[in-house]
Structure 1
């Protein structure tokens, strides 16, 4: 059954109304919204750069400094507890040893504990002690049977200092169990503070457990210095309370999404101003190397606070005029652009849509209102000619089709794009360029130097710890003659420390007696080296770092450990330091935090000169150095620090070098440049996206429709008109198709002699 005319009209109206959801309106509306949003962003961001008294780069540098301290403290605590537990296990695996011999052996291998003691667990009798008095009264021996009873704990002494106690059990068959206790202070190993910096360990309650860098008021001479010290102590306590409160949040919630970086909770704090200097502090919780894991140190709930007084920038920019001017210019240009699109593209197209629908309804009495120019004018003129043809009127004498091709829709869209480029291009390419006169705070150079020095000490200590482990294993393996017994000791050591890729025992002729881990890469058939730690180049993809410790009483046999190069490289991955390299005496690269080639040279002669300048010379001791290189607009911060201190690793003569371009730091000049470029890019993107959308959805179909409408008016009755999109252009296309169906063909005109008007017209 055929649908009634009324239902058909409702169906056509619904299709027509739905076509208005897309079309020309959304691109122009979206462009208007994007330009308004961009104007607001421009006014807020470009006008606020450089208004802080302390640059953000300096604040973040203090945060990274606290993170370095937290990493060093966590590694020191975990390493100490692991060494104590492993040493006790190795002693327990052999024959019974007197308590004094145990402490003497531990003291000769490790010099990290302030006091050690051995206590009989059942009776509480003190069997031996070394160093300072260990607070044994704080130990509850009844709880030592539980696993939690052997967990390290903090004890506060009568003088106010805090000690960390670590425990391990010595157990031999047929003898009472003994408790090995070691105490250590919560001070930072090898942290280079520089001038006027203070660093502290903070408990969960916000109390200071240890501090470094602030002298006692009695140690200063003048009243002003005493006042400064008191102010520093007061400010440090305030920072400690704030850091303890912030450290309670989850690490993922403490950072911006996707920021990465330090795996624990970290940030920076701004304090009070005193004598034109403002205190800035970074804080960081002790975090495990891998996310989601816990170590002995992380369970203590400690935080690190690093405080530095920074001179305020009195010449900082406080005016937001540039942001307001740029935003106002965008509003003006954007308003003109949107007005042109509304006046010359959207309004004529909507008028064509209404006129074409009027003709399809049979309203042919009124002439078609023809737009002034462009494709809309061509289509309007074609509709007027079709209206006359539907009425059966003859063409006027000398009438020619109106083909107004100048200033079409494509040209208008291009003009709008040029207008938006007039605002975006200068921001993208010209305005607010940071030149070679950018002011880089000296504090950043100092922090680069001190952090590099701290990292150097961390690498040296890690190698020294590794060699101490080898020495401990060698001393305990001396009495074990069977390869299986030696293998158990090596396997246990390899499982407890991730720094080794392989451990093995060589006799005096270089024969492998026992091994654990991967195959040895040291030269086979050669006697053990006399060097404690050395580096070999075996032609592989990475250097071979080998530690050797002689086994006492075994006729020249030695325990050899090969360090994993990934372990060394993992120590160098510190945020905010840029590229880091470890180089040997010949300035050849041993390790790095980014990609490098084995034993390659440093990039550039300036870094080589920097490393050479830090090495030991006649009458001078090696010391870290930091420098700011300027090469036109290329500004680079670099630092180098050689191995300084004792231990087996000192003989290597290595140096840690770090460098990074200043443009990657949030310095006000670079921040303003980056935000200006970003605003220009957003403007170009918004213009390209919206005008491109308009060109694809409206302009191209409109140009094609103009050709089809003129062809239809010229007499082409065979070409069926299909709408490309369900929008205004599609609606006009459907109306032209309905008109085409009502127009008589050439055969009908010849047969009837007249043109049949549209049925149902008024």
Structure 2
């Protein structure tokens, strides 16, 4: 009855809303993924600025102007730069656009042990990010603005301030708008994809998203979803997420940025009400439970109670004096029920007759009819008749219409975001490797080793860095031993796979080391950076995105968010076909695509997207594939199927547990008592019957033990009387006389 009530409660709660919860959850995750990409871009830029400043070889002759130019000239993203004296806060040099330094207190920046986080400012109506880095000067550094020198002056620091625009914001998914909001809800950047229009979005969403973000607290990666205005048959669905670190204090925690994504989706016109089905299923289960209860009452409980009374009456007759005993034993023992109770009843009536002296021990047939164990098995089969349709037949999901189209589109958009995140990581690896290769020419071997060691320490994505000569031999290496190296030295630069088989995919970036004028020609010397696949795997998982794979041009797995074997095929042929369908024409990069697949593991929403159409990864032909089980999505049809299956499993499990308990507590003790009763009726007076249960069955056992003691005492008395009777004398034969 409890399971029936839970079935009603669970299934009546499944209803089809105008906007399914799965659509709201998908928009929330898209906003979170966009915020994650934005946070990664800001963190990477801040680390690059600090790393460039710390690697700059300042000398006693370095001037602020030369230092500032050396630190910023190679960076195209820099809008303006400034160099300040950290002790006095005095401006030493500037470059590019004017840097808004209002509010920058160089003397009171973060302690030396901590990095200075970026700062969001507005200059000329455009938002900018100020990145900070310390430039350490060697001891006895001369100040060119002073007329005197102080010997043994301790090391001093300059503060580098770089102003850059916000990282490029990208909106994924047709009809979607993405915005970056500041702490006050003002839009700092907007991106539109397809036919979406920023002016058409709900004007109240930015304020609502900012309030929700403030309510979640600062410095967290909180996210959520909102339902905006409704126009005709379309609803505005929005998602928001804070741009903050997930693993503790980060560079973006103090910026107060919030990402807001929104799109208009068609309202769901189909209705889904499972109340009537829930009542029918619960009523059927209640009818089954009632039928089983009545069957057990009339076939087990009532016959057992009658047997309990009869056994007590016979036991009283066996232990009382003859006049009273005769009255108790004169009535036959009625045989009720079947199986074990009938066997005990027949044995008890035989014992009654033996007490009266009407008969002796009686043997019972070895072959008997069905017992109460068969009744328990029949109860399990009856429960299965209700549970099996609930688990395997009823409320099955229609793979064509179950998953709403916006959910499929959201999976594709999230796959494109994941593709951009992987592409950003690989491009950054190549950029860092190119910068390291540019600093190698003209240096000694020891200096080159120091450069590579510093690059390896700064860039955790590399396993090892090594130089190859024209013949493919390693001339210099730092870090771990390369898993495999290229036999033929490539030209140019980019990302490549070094092997096509083995236990671990070897992915590496490479860049040419240019020759130095006036020295031996160094063309063909290439710097390789072997990328750690574990680092690549670590950026693939995202909440509610499902399984993620990175495949090569032959649809073989190179990296995955779940356990995998290198260069193996995708888990099912449907994913392979999906990857191939991204190709518009032979040799083209292709476009992202998504669809619903039905496999042996169930229904899933899958998507695939090419990794890159340009840049160092464009020639790889790699793809990113995702598969999210529909069971993890809050879709009414899927929820109804899950809860129907759960009700069937729960009802069957509880019923089997109850019948199993009945077998342990009632059926098995009855079988034991039936065997002992038949043996007692067959003449076994030595086996003591010990009551195990403190219930009616235990009382029947105690009554049989009293009967056994009475019969054993009567047998002993009979033997004693026979032994004490005097023998008759033998008469002599007449012939003997």
Q: TM-score range by the shorter chain?
A: 0.7 to 0.9
1:373 aligns with 337
After TM superposition, the structure 1 stretch with the greater mean CA deviation from structure 2, 611-620 or 408-417, is 611-620
2:174 is aligned with 1:195:
yes
User: What are the Cα deviations for residues 423-467 of structure 1, in whole angstroms up to 9, with x where unaligned?
Assistant: 212212222222454332111221122222222221111111111
2:56 is aligned with 1:78:
no
User: What are the Cα deviations for residues 500-541 of structure 1, in whole angstroms up to 9, with x where unaligned?
Assistant: 111234566656454321013453786575333222117532
Q: CA deviation at 1:338?
A: 2.0
Q: CA deviation at 1:168?
A: 0.7
2:386 is aligned with 1:423:
yes
Secondary structure (helix, strand or coil) at the match of 1:626 reads: strand
User: What are the Cα deviations for residues 71-129 of structure 1, in whole angstroms up to 9, with x where unaligned?
Assistant: 21222122112111111111046786555665555556554555433333345454554
After TM superposition, the structure 1 stretch with the greater mean CA deviation from structure 2, 393-402 or 722-731, is 393-402
Distance 1:332 1:243, change over 3 A: farther
Is the contact made by 1:506 and 1:528 (CA closer than 8 Å) also made in structure 2?
Answer: no
> C-alpha separation between the residues in 2 aligned to 1:521 and 1:143?
48
1:10 aligns with none
Distance 1:684 1:552, change over 3 A: same
Out of 441, 453, 469, the position equivalent to 1:491 is 453
2:582 is aligned with 1:641:
no
1:468 aligns with 431
2:56 aligns with 91
> C-alpha separation between the residues in 2 aligned to 1:448 and 1:110?
35
Q: CA deviation at 1:748?
A: 3.0
> C-alpha separation between the residues in 2 aligned to 1:123 and 1:322?
78
Is the contact made by 1:436 and 1:631 (CA closer than 8 Å) also made in structure 2?
Answer: no
2:148 aligns with none
Secondary structure (helix, strand or coil) at the match of 2:435 reads: helix
Pairing of 1:221-260 with structure 2 (within 5 A)? 228-229=200-201, 232-246=202-216
User: What are the Cα deviations for residues 114-170 of structure 1, in whole angstroms up to 9, with x where unaligned?
Assistant: 543333334545455455543211211121362487421433426665543221111
User: What are the Cα deviations for residues 168-219 of structure 1, in whole angstroms up to 9, with x where unaligned?
Assistant: 1112211563212223455565x4422332334456x67456453479xxx9
Pairing of 1:657-736 with structure 2 (within 5 A)? 657-660=625-628, 662=630, 665-736=633-704
Is the contact made by 1:545 and 1:563 (CA closer than 8 Å) also made in structure 2?
Answer: yes
2:3 is aligned with 1:45:
no
2:233 aligns with 276
User: What are the Cα deviations for residues 559-598 of structure 1, in whole angstroms up to 9, with x where unaligned?
Assistant: 3211111222222223433443323344443323234443
Is the contact made by 1:236 and 1:307 (CA closer than 8 Å) also made in structure 2?
Answer: no
> C-alpha separation between the residues in 1 aligned to 2:61 and 2:5?
77
Distance 1:107 1:717, change over 3 A: same
Q: CA-atom RMSD, angstroms? A: 3.9
Q: CA deviation at 1:44?
A: 1.5
> C-alpha separation between the residues in 1 aligned to 2:30 and 2:553?
28
TM-score by length of 1: 0.79
Secondary structure (helix, strand or coil) at the match of 1:280 reads: strand
Is the contact made by 2:549 and 2:557 (CA closer than 8 Å) also made in structure 1?
Answer: yes
1:4 aligns with none
* Alignment gaps of 5+ in structure 1: 1-35, 252-263, 755-762
> C-alpha separation between the residues in 2 aligned to 1:646 and 1:293?
34
1:565 aligns with 533
> C-alpha separation between the residues in 2 aligned to 1:696 and 1:648?
70
User: What are the Cα deviations for residues 606-626 of structure 1, in whole angstroms up to 9, with x where unaligned?
Assistant: 655544554475998743233
2:301 is aligned with 1:346:
yes
User: What are the Cα deviations for residues 278-305 of structure 1, in whole angstroms up to 9, with x where unaligned?
Assistant: 333334445656xx54433356565544
Pairing of 1:132-211 with structure 2 (within 5 A)? 132-144=97-109, 146-147=111-112, 150-157=115-122, 162-173=127-138, 174-175=141-142, 177-187=157-167, 189=169, 191-201=170-180, 207-208=185-186, 210-211=188-189
Distance 1:502 1:115, change over 3 A: same
Is the contact made by 1:74 and 1:298 (CA closer than 8 Å) also made in structure 2?
Answer: no
2:718 aligns with 749
Out of 395, 404, 412, the position equivalent to 1:441 is 404
Is the contact made by 1:247 and 1:303 (CA closer than 8 Å) also made in structure 2?
Answer: no
Is the contact made by 1:72 and 1:188 (CA closer than 8 Å) also made in structure 2?
Answer: no
Is the contact made by 1:192 and 1:454 (CA closer than 8 Å) also made in structure 2?
Answer: no
2:25 aligns with 60
Is the contact made by 1:583 and 1:591 (CA closer than 8 Å) also made in structure 2?
Answer: yes
> C-alpha separation between the residues in 2 aligned to 1:68 and 1:516?
35
Secondary structure (helix, strand or coil) at the match of 2:203 reads: helix
> C-alpha separation between the residues in 1 aligned to 2:669 and 2:6?
35
2:190 is aligned with 1:212:
yes
2:497 is aligned with 1:535:
yes
> C-alpha separation between the residues in 2 aligned to 1:139 and 1:398?
110
> C-alpha separation between the residues in 2 aligned to 1:313 and 1:420?
37
> C-alpha separation between the residues in 2 aligned to 1:529 and 1:553?
14
1:738 aligns with 706
The number of residue pairs the alignment matches comes to 689
2:285 is aligned with 1:330:
yes
Out of 616, 620, 626, the position equivalent to 1:652 is 620
Q: CA deviation at 1:368?
A: 7.7
After TM superposition, the structure 1 stretch with the greater mean CA deviation from structure 2, 598-607 or 133-142, is 598-607
> C-alpha separation between the residues in 2 aligned to 1:402 and 1:640?
72
2:462 aligns with 500
Question: Which structure has the bigger radius of gyration?
Answer: 2
After TM superposition, the structure 1 stretch with the greater mean CA deviation from structure 2, 140-149 or 402-411, is 402-411
Is the contact made by 1:378 and 1:404 (CA closer than 8 Å) also made in structure 2?
Answer: no
Is the contact made by 1:460 and 1:650 (CA closer than 8 Å) also made in structure 2?
Answer: no
2:370 is aligned with 1:411:
no
2:415 aligns with 452
> C-alpha separation between the residues in 2 aligned to 1:195 and 1:561?
37
2:729 aligns with none
Is the contact made by 1:162 and 1:209 (CA closer than 8 Å) also made in structure 2?
Answer: no
Q: CA deviation at 1:717?
A: 0.9
Secondary structure (helix, strand or coil) at the match of 2:56 reads: helix
Secondary structure (helix, strand or coil) at the match of 1:542 reads: coil
> C-alpha separation between the residues in 2 aligned to 1:169 and 1:698?
82
1:255 aligns with none
Distance 1:101 1:51, change over 3 A: same
User: What are the Cα deviations for residues 709-742 of structure 1, in whole angstroms up to 9, with x where unaligned?
Assistant: 1332343212222345555433432332233123
Is the contact made by 2:171 and 2:191 (CA closer than 8 Å) also made in structure 1?
Answer: no
